[in-house]
């Protein structure tokens, strides 16, 4: 395996906690590179955001993800909150994780019909979240 390309996309977020669909941006880069097979790793820079593969048809699933994490990891009860009030954001990001790897099959992302790639914002809004796309073949 060798690195074919590495691209950084910027995503602006408008909520403290939300999922943002970035699938089209990743698909566009696959098309630009004319990749037929390989893998793309999608990685968000920052300790309070994450990447998740999730349902793309019914937006209530994305809302449910946020609500579940809010119930599991509430605001304002963590030691780190004494520093800057976002202890929950760090824990949510750590639980979900900063990256996902998706196969490229016959020139397309190897996602199922109901899967998309989401940037999970847990400490927004942010003018820019950097997402690094690393393509290997």
Q: Are 122 and 12 in contact (CB under 8 A)?
A: no
For the segment 107-135, the average pLDDT, to the nearest whole number, is 98
Burial of 119 (0-12, 13-18, 19+ CB in 10 A): buried
pLDDT at 81: 86
Task: Answer whether residue 1 shows pLDDT above 80.
Answer: no
- Fold entry, domain 3-136: Jelly Rolls (2.60.120)
10-36 pLDDT tens trace: 999 999 999 999 999 999 999 999 999
Q: Which of 112, 119, 114, 25 is nearest to 65 (CA)?
A: 119
For the segment 92-105, the average pLDDT, to the nearest whole number, is 98
| Cα 25 from Cα 127, distance rounded (Å) | 17
Instruction: Say what the pTM is.
Output: 0.96
Residue 125 in 3-state DSSP?
coil
What percent of the chain is predicted at pLDDT more than 90? 94
114 C-beta neighbours (distance < 10 Å), count: 11
| Cα 12 from Cα 124, distance rounded (Å) | 9
* Residue 33, phi then psi, degrees to nearest 5: -80, -10
What are the beta bridge partners of residue 109?
A: 104
What does each C-alpha distance from 137 to 12, 20, 106, 118 come to in angstroms?
A: 29, 27, 12, 23
Domain boundaries in the chain? 3-136
| Cα 54 from Cα 61, distance rounded (Å) | 8
What percent of the chain is predicted at pLDDT more than 70? 100
Q: Are 133 and 9 in contact (CB under 8 A)?
A: yes
pLDDT at 44: 98
pLDDT at 76: 93
57-79 pLDDT tens trace: 898 999 999 999 999 999 999 98
């Amino acid at each position: 395996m060798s690195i074919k390309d590495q691209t950084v996309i910027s995503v602006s977020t408008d909520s403290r906690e939300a999922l943002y669909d970035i699938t089209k941006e990743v698909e566009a880069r696959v098309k630009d590179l004319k990749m037929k097979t390989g893998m793309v790793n999608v990685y968000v820079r920052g300790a309070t955001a994450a990447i998740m593969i999730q349902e793309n048809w019914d937006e209530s699933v994305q809302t449910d993800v946020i609500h579940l994490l809010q119930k599991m990891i509430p605001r304002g009860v963590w030691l780190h909150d004494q520093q800057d009030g976002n202890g929950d954001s760090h824990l949510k990001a750590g639980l979900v994780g900063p990256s996902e790897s998706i196969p490229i099959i016959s020139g397309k992302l190897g996602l199922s019909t109901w899967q998309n790639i989401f940037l999970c914002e847990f400490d927004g809004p942010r003018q820019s979240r950097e997402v690094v796309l690393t393509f290997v073949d």
